[in-house]
Amino acid sequence: MKVEEKNKSHLKQDKSNNHQNKKDMDVAIEKDKIEGEKNKEKESLEYNNKEELNGKKVKELEEKVLRTLAEMENQRRRFEKERDEAFEFGGFAFAKESLALIDNLERAKTSFTNNKKFKENKDFSIILEAFEILEKDLITIFKRNNIERIICLEKKFDPNFHQAMLEIDDTSKEPGTVVQEIQKGYTMKGRLLRPSMVGVTRFKTEDVKKDQENRDNHDTKK
């Protein structure tokens, strides 16, 4: 009897041990499962971080390439602009120096015209005609290269194109009207080569006083 009780006790103990082992095994499996999921999450996070880092690097490289291309394009444009400006400035400087030719030609023509002895010379008209032909040819060359004379007489004074050399009292015209051209001015492609040296009108002091008195009298009558 005692043997049977002992066997039963052993069976119960085995069942209990088996149940505990199964429970421990289930806990271990669950732990492994949880650990596996954690590892997967960790690997996924690392993968995402790696992908994000790679994406950032690719984006940075793309931005660097775009910046480099933009800089190269800007350099190309600057080079073309500097080249064009150098070419234009060279032509501009030459054109500016060339104005002395037409100035000297006009002075010589004026000198011949005002000289009585030259006027009495039988060849005067031929010499004068030669000067006029030279002057016309030079003006034609200037126009062909976009060099234009500034028309200033009877125009309002413009400091961008005119240089006032003297003031002239003239009440028949508005103050600041160009009434005398001392030296001709020229532009090249709209850019100032040389300003026109001019004389401009102004009101006399007494005329200004009279005008003010007339205004005061008119205001008093009101």
Report the predicted TM-score, pTM, of the whole model to 2 decimal places: 0.52
pLDDT at residue 8 in the model: 52
**What whole-number percentage of the chain has pLDDT above 70?**
62
- Residue 201: CB atoms within 10 A of its CB come to 19
Per DSSP (E only), the strands in the chain are 147-149, 162-169, 178-183, 186-188, 191-194, 196-202
pLDDT tens per residue across span 174-187? 899 999 999 999 99
Report pLDDT digits (tens) over 91-119. Answer: 788 888 888 888 888 888 888 788 777 77
In the chain, the domains with their CATH numbers are: 149-222 (2.30.22.10)
